[in-house]
Amino acid sequence: MFGMIGFGAAGLNGTQRSLGTVGDKSVSITSYSNALQNEINRLQQQIGRALTQEEVQTIGIDQQALNRVINTRALDQLVTDLGLSMGDERVSAELQKIPAFLGLNGMFDRVSYGEVLRRNNLSEGDFEASLREDGARKILQQAVLTGIEAAPAYEDAIVSFITQNRDFSWARISAANIAAETSEGTESDLVAFHIENPKKFTKPAAKIISYIWLSPEMLASSMDISEETLRSVYEIRIDEFNQAPSRMVERLIFSERSKAQDAMDEIVAGTLTFESAVSDRGLTLADVDLGIVEKTILDDAGDAVFSLMQPGLVGPIDTNLGPALFRVSAILDGSIQAYDTVKDQLRMEASLDAAANEIVAISEDVDDLLAGGAALEDIAAETDMEFGVFEWHVSASGGISDFDAFKLAATTLTADNFPTIASINGGGIFAIRLDGNIDAELKPLNEVRLEVQAAFAAQNLKAAIIDRASEVAAEVSTQTPLKSFGLVEMTELGVTRGDTIDGAPPTMVAKAFETELGTAAIIEDVLGALIIIPTVENAGDFESDQVKALKEIVGNRIKAAISQDIFEAFSNAARDGIDININQVTVQSITTNILGNR
């Protein structure tokens, strides 16, 4: 709830705080920005990486967030129309649960409450109205979702599918299982294979590109950096090179020393954890976290905290806020780097910076020369720019080809483009000219003969392996096991659909469940082929504690999914027939601002 506090969007006709209205309800900028951040963070956690601005908008996350906010305000309008509301006592109780409004004694503090709201440009009336709306919306949600249960047969079907398991045998067939050696092919075989598989042996289309370029790294060695400059930079960055020891610290404050001592005694005795002591005070670990601090920051507590040689707890210690327990979760040693040890690093950084500044001046001269019609070769002769020419294609790498800006420019380059100055990452510049195009061309057989022979032999070997696998698959059965064909037979027991088999492709388990019992199937992979034969199918044991626990989890998830779908449908229905007026220009501005800062 407290996460709703935020700021408006400056620069949009002053300071704008509303995106528009849904019915009679205003849609705040903060609600949309929070919803967008939450949607982005949720998806990033699922895929395990950061999303780009283009991906966010292509997927439609911004629209999902906006629709969620609009639906919420539509429900608020419905709640108002129905006359539902949360009473003053309930609002007061909710206020007293918000940590930011609590005083040192862990109780609601009106001064803190007013100060926090003032810092965020919110009035008490507006904030409490939002609490009241949230509470009333929850009442409506509970009324809509009461009595929703998943059908037992549906739960049982899913649990049966998950817990069903199979026993199967499998064996790999490789070149070692092929009796006859595969042929490298006659001349006519190679000629035909070369013609029938042109993609394998075709030189890609290319552009003949002339270019000039210059990067800070190319100029750095010519930059003259004085000793005085380096020492000045070192002094400016002294805090970076000379870091005092620090600790990662949490501080739990008590109103009385006796209470702090009792908590410390219980923690030492093992009957209480620090986390429990924090929650008993109505706080979270985030509330007591001081972060990484140096000794001087802790005043009188510094000596005791820094006396710990390993992470641990110390206290109670009297502070200006009251007696406190301090927990150290990490010990960070300081480091002192003398000038002489970092001088080379500073010189290189300063040289690159100076070179980047020099390139800015050079780029202006080059731009003038290009505008005057000077050829790239002449510009390279007159400036520090380096000239080159090569056959570029989309797979080219090394040198200037490694820069994305060059790749994009080369991809779109045509004979109609005149050379212009462009930038590359790191402060470099370049300009390019198209001198010609080279069509894709099938390389002559004599030029790629060894490659053709290898590819032809590999294809024949793969075909021979599949043929042998087909022969075995036609004869193998539960009575004639795989090992009877001279194969190394592996047996897997009680494999469920979610299991994986070491040394086997990921598709093996799925194939084991797709294949009829007692019937063999073939799986191709890069190493050859595998034969698999499922032998026994077993149902999950619904009386086991593990399956009972799984059934409860599945039931809860089904219920949650059904509830979410029903309430989403209800929200969409509530939205129908309500006037929605959203300023799309403001939405786009806020979206761009959020995504641009990621």
pLDDT digits (tens, 9 = 90+) for 17-36: 678 888 888 888 878 888 88
Highest mean pLDDT among 75-79, 207-211, 465-469: 207-211
Give the contacts of 587 (CB within 8 A, at least 6 positions apart).
19, 32, 62, 66
How far from 118 is each of 8, 29, 111, 121, CA to CA, in Å? 14, 18, 11, 5
Cβ-defined contacts of 337-341 (< 8 Å, 24+): 337/241, 337/242, 339/230, 339/231, 339/234
Q: What is the pLDDT of residue 491?
A: 92
pLDDT band of residue 175 (cuts 50, 70, 90) is confident
**Residue 209 has what DSSP assignment?**
E
Q: Is pLDDT of 353 > 60?
A: yes
Q: What is the pLDDT of residue 1?
A: 44
Q: What is the pTM of this model?
A: 0.48
Q: What is the pLDDT of residue 3?
A: 43
In the chain, the largest separation of any two C-alpha atoms, in whole Å, equals 96
Q: Is pLDDT of 13 > 80?
A: no
**Distance, CA of 32 to CA of 592 (rounded, Å):** 13
**Distance, CA of 408 to CA of 404 (rounded, Å):** 6
pLDDT band of residue 597 (cuts 50, 70, 90) is low
Task: Give pLDDT tens digits for 426-457.
Answer: 889 999 999 999 888 899 998 899 999 888 98
Q: Is pLDDT of 520 > 80?
A: yes
Q: Is pLDDT of 592 > 70?
A: yes
First CA to last CA across the chain, in angstroms? 24
Q: What is the pLDDT of residue 40?
A: 85
pLDDT band of residue 181 (cuts 50, 70, 90) is low
Instruction: Characterise 23 by phi-psi region: left (phi > 0), alpha (psi -120 to 50), beta (else).
Output: left
Least confident of 99-103, 153-157, 239-243, 540-544: 239-243
Least confident of 243-252, 374-383, 493-502: 243-252
Query: What's the chain's average pLDDT?
Result: 84
Q: Considering only CA atoms, give the Rg of the chain.
A: 35
**Distance, CA of 195 to CA of 190 (rounded, Å):** 9
Q: What is the pLDDT of residue 377?
A: 92
More confident call, 592 vs 12: 592
Q: What is the pLDDT of residue 9?
A: 37
**Distance, CA of 459 to CA of 197 (rounded, Å):** 11
Q: What is the pLDDT of residue 212?
A: 92
Phi/psi at 160 (5° precision): -60, -45
SS3 content of the chain, % helix, strand, coil (to 5): 55, 20, 25
Q: Is pLDDT of 511 > 60?
A: yes
Q: Are 109 and 103 in contact (CB under 8 A)?
A: yes
Query: Please, which residues bridge with residue 291 across strands?
Result: 249
Phi/psi at 81 (5° precision): -65, -35
Instruction: Please state the rounded mean pLDDT for residues 138-152.
Output: 80
Instruction: Please state the rounded mean pLDDT for residues 297-310.
Output: 84
- Edge-first strand listing for the sheet containing 521-525: 490-496, 165-173, 528-538, 521-525
What's the half-sphere exposure (Cβ side, CA atoms, 13 Å) at 155?
Answer: 21
pLDDT band of residue 11 (cuts 50, 70, 90) is very low
Q: Pick the closest to residue 8 from 36, 39, 30, 37 (CA basis).
A: 30
